Amino acid sequence: MSETDLIPGQDLIPAPLSVEYRGSAPGYASLDERTTLDAGPGTESTARWLRTTLGAATGLPFADGAGPCAIRLRISEETARERGPEGYRLSVDDSTADGSVGGAAVVIEGGGPAGVFWGAQTLRQLLGPDAYRRAPVREEAWSLPPITIEDAPRFGWRGLLLDVARHFTPKDDVLRYLDLLAAHKLNVFHFHLTDDQGWRIEIKRHPRLTEVGAWRARTKWGHRASPLWNETPHGGYYTQDDIREIVAYAAERHLTVVPEIDVPGHSQAAIAAYPELGNTDVVDTSALTVWDTWGVNPNVLAPTDAVLRFYEGVFEEVLDLFPAATSPFVHVGGDECPKDQWRRSPTAQARIEELGLADENELQSWFVRHFDRWLAERGRRLIGWDEILEGGLAPGAAVSSWRGYAGGVAAAEAGHDVVMCPEQHVYLDHRQAPGDDEPMPIGYVRTLEDVYRFEPVPPSLPPEAAAHVLGTQANVWTEVMENRARVDYQVFPRLAAFAEVAWSALPAPAERDFADFERRVTVHYRRLDALGVDHRPPAGPRPWQRRPGAAGRPIDGTPPNV
């Protein structure tokens, strides 16, 4: 079947649970000047989105009001019982009494406000790629098939991490990515705000975090082993009002935002701003600058009460900017924290002895447990990378399993909630093909098909433990992604495959119909083009997408399934 053979409803991504056509002439109903918007209680945010987004693309006013030619938005208790709060039922009918060609009556019933919104995203797909533009490009009617779609997500956590610390992403580009997540029915935005190479969030009580920590003098060009440098200073940060805007924008799109403030490792930008945060008894922290290269940094936070108080102040402002309704989870990192400075530090060793800890791993666990309790007292949940398992996991903590499945399996079997994001499968900074033209190739080859065959829940996981898998997340680390176009290239179209894995009820990986997905993604490329996404073409990078001469770190072979 070619792209032109696909009728609306056969090209949906992610694939819905069921699609039923009525009649033999799909495409006979339409949205037109008669179409009104009839929004029931609790659907107001979706009505605003439809009017601004579809209104811009179609040129239709979507005036308020009921009637035969209306888009009706409703929250349905029946749908909630059958499909959950994110489930929906979408139906399209010819609104004319005699059955002749006429305006469409569209009914979207969601189990909750989010379900209504996801149904509206499906309606946009049914209208074709031009519905993804910001202004009308054609005058003909916006046709819809007489169709009923029943749908609901497999996982409640369907996420994307965007690293804005290594290369800063301007606010408008963050908002754009929230729209792109919503278009793919992803519902979690993991906002990686701090790292060795930059601190990106304004903290009023500690202004040097952005005055100093948000800027670096130069940047390694390519992998850390590359001899090349970009000598242009790099940086940027989000003001507190920027953060409020981003959070409100996400909430309108039923997206949860998970802010990440990395501790106790990946902290050189903070130490450069406030040298007393580091291990001053073993290193001259006053000489440190914001890091300009990549890798695991040896400069970590000191395990002192003063450092705890400093970061409590940081988190107090973070919690104010990210309300519990939008951000129930707060990510504290906890990964890649070398212990060498703690082993050499009399202060750290005294703290280990004072607390009766066995070693430096338990010292890191103490650090993480402190913030687990602190966040829990304020109604939030801590989540961290799977290294927080080392030395003992805080009782209420959840785990982002990134080094493979093993950390997630261990955490789930111990009764902890888990988000599966193994680097071998869903790190989208990894290269997409083995060719020499892939820009700054990092890691294993992870093709579109590889991502489509990713399975978040290992089959060996017992059912009780599998119930602790909240869902899955793709991660985008930006060491070698210096701008929006590079991020687009790495993320798309693979994010479409990941979205289907996270949302749809797919068979086992080997049994998935990738040929059908490929047919649907041919239409999806046109949606991405309409959205201005600089995706990787199926045939490989265009000339301007390459980065000749910039070294990467390709790894050959099949990634281990660990």
> Which residues are tagged catalytic?
195, 266, 336
Half-sphere exposure at residue 168, Cβ-oriented, CA atoms within 13 angstroms: 20
Tally of CB atoms within 10 A around 428? 22
The sign of the dihedral angle between the CA atoms of 142, 145, 150, 156 is negative
* Token duo for residue 400: 């982002």
Query: What ranges in 4-69 are assigned the alpha helix state H?
Result: 44-49, 55-58
SS3 track for 333-346: ECCCCCCHHHHHCH
Q: How far apart are CA 418 and CA 425, in angstroms?
A: 16
Cβ atoms of 83 and 48 within 8 Å: the answer is no
Cβ atoms of 442 and 480 within 8 Å: the answer is yes
Q: How far apart are CA 405 and CA 356, in angstroms?
A: 32
Residues 6+ apart with CB under 8 A from 447: 432, 433
Q: How far apart are CA 402 and CA 150, in angstroms?
A: 33
Q: Which amino acid, one-letter code, is at 384?
A: G
Query: What ranges in 256-304 are assigned the alpha helix state H?
Result: 268-273
Report DSSP state, residue 52.
I
Half-sphere exposure at residue 538, Cβ-oriented, CA atoms within 13 angstroms: 9
* Token duo for residue 251: 């909430």
**Terminus-to-terminus CA distance in the chain, angstroms?**
37
Residues 6+ apart with CB under 8 A from 479: 166, 167, 220, 223, 224, 294, 429, 442
Q: How far apart are CA 408 and CA 387, in angstroms?
A: 11
Q: 92 φ, ψ to 5°?
A: -125, 130
* Token duo for residue 58: 């179609």
Cβ atoms of 160 and 473 within 8 Å: the answer is yes
Cβ atoms of 444 and 430 within 8 Å: the answer is yes
Cβ atoms of 144 and 27 within 8 Å: the answer is yes
Tally of CB atoms within 10 A around 33? 12
Report DSSP state, residue 53.
I
> Beta strands 398-401 and 418-420: pairing type?
parallel
Cβ atoms of 501 and 399 within 8 Å: the answer is no
Report DSSP state, residue 69.
S
Q: How far is CA 52 from CA 49, 57, 61, 332, 469, in A?
A: 5, 9, 9, 36, 36
Q: How far apart are CA 503 and CA 83, in angstroms?
A: 13
* Token duo for residue 532: 């201005």
